[in-house]
Chain A
């Protein structure tokens, strides 16, 4: 190794604590990114595997509306097969629904094993199902309730040797028997139960109907020709779509959610960048004389730049490696949270395996390296460009820092202006929204050093009248801006993000709470259990009659929720019959209620805010939905506030829905009780009325509100985890920067001790300084945090989900930031305070 490199490397190794703290920041930053990437990639992989398991080698699928597909179509397609001279369409019917087994929501797939085998023979993909022997095939067709699942799923459900298992579908319990455990099924089969198609139709209450028909079309021109002929044959309410496009469409639902997560992880890395900047600039500062000697001996600017940047590169590579290891550990924990959120909000997916794509690791490595190099560039350029004075006066350095801090005021203004222009120039882009948010955060960071200097100077002047030591405490902070400014800027930025997220979450929570109170007009709600828009969620008509006969029930509303096709992809449709008092539960944010509701009863639809935003619709616009008779345009009569479904939904009168979709099912009831009737007592009476017939969810509106709030909190757990990680990085940053600064002041503190300052006063002096810096960061973060909250609610949330959220402010939103600022400041002070109080004065005076 060359002497030049050896000098650089040994300096790093001689300051292990400093090196470790810099690495901690980068490790946490990279680790957070890796963790989020792993969690989302695992969820995506599990989703793809599950689709592959369900679809097998199908290239396309025929899908229908809520009522599915008449199986007569399948018979027709089989008896009159579509083929060209050299290719034919292979097809297999599928009935799909959801069930609950052992407390887990799982997918039920009903297949025709012969047709599925044929489809597999036609393709090269993974087999959807293999019946291994004659006994299994016999059981499949002769034993009622025969199911197949992966050995891992069977073990998770605790199914014993008899194979008996109870499945709950739409609140009705069905006995089933496991005839095959697929030992080598792979993770795609996690959360899947396979049965014969006839059995599935019976359980799901869709006899004679299919959920979809899987197709395998040849590639190339013959496939395209067959597809065109097939599409021409289909009734108007059916469509044929490629399985890949369908999967893409489904997973695209989570785009806004994953973008939010990635932005939060990026924040952690950005804060980490400040940490590296602090560490590198301190390392440069420490070696200013040494670098001056090297320059005097003939090291060129390029060589000095190379030394500093290669140190940063080493830091970046080591930090990225540690970050990847940490990310793998955190990622495993986050997978549960991410899949829980996806299950709560989007679709059912069982994530049992952690997927680590190589791209994630490469990206993390590059992010770590690039962050370290970017952070080191400024101090490296500064030291390489400066005249090689051997003992550059500290005051000269600080004057430079002050000049830089003042110049950064202009940069801050430009960044703020850039953020405002970005928001103004982009009306819908979520990425532009995040870009504006990051510009805002950087603007705060750029402004902080100058504000810190001004504040410290003012306080130094004011405190001079009280005590010279107090003056010294503040004046030192102002005079050491090269060290203190960066630390406070990094902490200020993290606190800003923290306050912004806290205000946004709290505002969202309050808006949701108010919305729930406003919306839930009925006293008791009854629904069939299962996935919200699944067809099998149907209340038995006899059960409905029994429920409505319970004393105290004076009226009811009815609802059916399904997913229907539209020219803009599938949309959720909520068909309702409302009582007159229910209308007040809907707050129209666009449209006139006096006109909207009569139009609604005459066949128009209302749409929720997220859907209006997503599809760019407004009152008097039209939305084409695929009814049983084909596509039909519906007039939008109004837009209503809705926080329950971020993909948005269409509200339609139940009579209109039944007329156009021929679906008489009811999935939920809202029961209105007579005055003076206790909901809790009525809930017991309702449960007693349906006991043994259908397991239903019967809950008072208060219980549903509490449940909704619990789901809300669960949804934001991951956000909180990430923001605490970012805050942790910032705290470590402040800790390392202040620790380093205080340690370089050993001689000054020893001098003060010599002049008569007691050890206690010295410790207090150090603590006062770090506390002041923590509070200064908080002071900068409060207005900036409020502005961030405004961007998060008005720009990010609006663009991601279409929600309008009212800002709600409370003291508690700021308390986390306050505690973090104080904890970081006091932790940073503890060791230097202890050290300076105990340092032998003679050696302290010798230290530089």
Chain B
């Protein structure tokens, strides 16, 4: 489903170039849940940005379902991203000026689905995360766990093939994380989405099919598990 070859990325800091990724290779099968671990600053978030086409690699390629996303031009990458990728962030990144349902519906509208069908689908997504009754609440009236559940609904509402989660439990207390994480995993699994999770959380990693470690700009398999039934 996802195939990355020779991916390299460096950033300039004054006169010095800081190499984050150096010839990274990986393949992820459809429907797999993969945890990516690594020290702070090792390039985990950069990797997600390169996979999603938010950022461009210096060299190497990213293929999603055979399509070389890294070779697409900017508008095409954006259109691909909004149709096929979902995001869950550590700090939720919900739009504070929109209510809960509108936040979820936004992605559908960006994909051209409007009106009653969009409303119905976003409500269904909210119902799936247990927040149907909060559909018209303001974002700042929600708890951290609720906000992350809205983010999960938003990430999955348009049925993406690939779900990218950047420290999804990093801003949640342990109890809340224990409630949110299974929800995200099960919903991704139900929808057949491939899930890439960047995390420091060993407990979370333990529930992934594979655990990859990013070190010195390359990914190495820390543990491979048999896919869950």
Chain A residues within CB distance 8 Å of chain B: 2-4, 6-7, 10-11, 14, 289-290, 292-303, 387-390
Contacts and interface: CB of A to CB of B under 8 A. Distances in A.
Given A3-B102, A6-B98, A301-B78, A389 B93 contact: no
Nearest to B56: A387
A586 B55 CA distance: 76
A296 B95 contact: no
Contacts of A11: 97
30 contacts: A2-B109, A2-B114, A3-B98, A3-B102, A3-B105, A3-B109, A4-B106, A6-B97, A7-B98, A7-B102, A11-B97, A290-B96, A292-B93, A293-B93, A293-B95, A296-B52, A296-B87, A297-B107, A297-B110, A298-B81, A298-B83, A299-B110, A301-B74, A301-B75, A301-B78, A302-B75, A387-B55, A388-B54, A389-B55, A390-B89
Contacts of B74: 301
A843 to B, nearest CB: 14
Contacts of B52: 296
A304 to B, nearest CB: 10
B79 interface: yes
A300 B78 CA distance: 6
Contacts of A292: 93
Contact-residue bracket for chain B: 20 to 34
Interface of B: 49, 52, 54-55, 74-75, 78-79, 81-83, 87, 89, 93-98, 102-103, 105-107, 109-111, 114, 154
B97 A298 contact: no
Given A7-B97, A390-B93, A297 B82 contact: yes
Contacts of B102: 3, 6-7
Nearest to B106: A3
B97 A14 contact: yes
Choose among A6, A296, A298, A390 the residue with the greatest number of B CB atoms under 10 Å from its CB.
A298
Nearest to A5: B109
Nearest to B52: A296
Contacts of A300: 75, 78-79
B66 to A, nearest CB: 21
Contact of A296 (B81, B98, B109, B111): B81
Given A293-B95, A297-B82, A389 B54 contact: yes
Nearest to A302: B75
Q: Which 4 A-B pairs have the closest CB atoms?
A: A298-B82, A10-B97, A3-B106, A293-B93
Contacts of A388: 54
B115 to A, nearest CB: 10
Nearest to B102: A3
Contacts of B78: 295, 298-301
Main SS of the interface on chain A?
Answer: helix
A301 B78 CA distance: 9
Nearest to B158: A298
A3 B154 CA distance: 13
Contacts of B106: 3-4, 7, 294, 297
Nearest to B107: A297
Contacts of B75: 300-302
A298 B107 contact: yes
B166 to A, nearest CB: 9
Choose among B94, B97, B110 the residue with the greatest number of A CB atoms under 10 Å from its CB.
B97
Contacts of A10: 97-98
A701 B50 CA distance: 85
A550 to B, nearest CB: 85
Contacts of A7: 95, 97-98, 102, 106
A297 B97 contact: no
Contacts of B94: 293
A297 B107 CA distance: 7
A299 B109 CA distance: 10
Contacts of A298: 78-79, 81-83, 107, 110-111
A6 B97 CA distance: 8
B144 to A, nearest CB: 15
Contact of B110 (A4, A14, A289): A4
B54 to A, nearest CB: 5
A411 to B, nearest CB: 25
A749 to B, nearest CB: 23
B114 to A, nearest CB: 7
B156 to A, nearest CB: 13
A347 B75 CA distance: 63
A290 B75 CA distance: 19
Given A6-B97, A296-B87, 7 more contacts: A2-B109, A3-B95, A11-B97, A290-B96, A292-B93, A296-B81, A299-B78
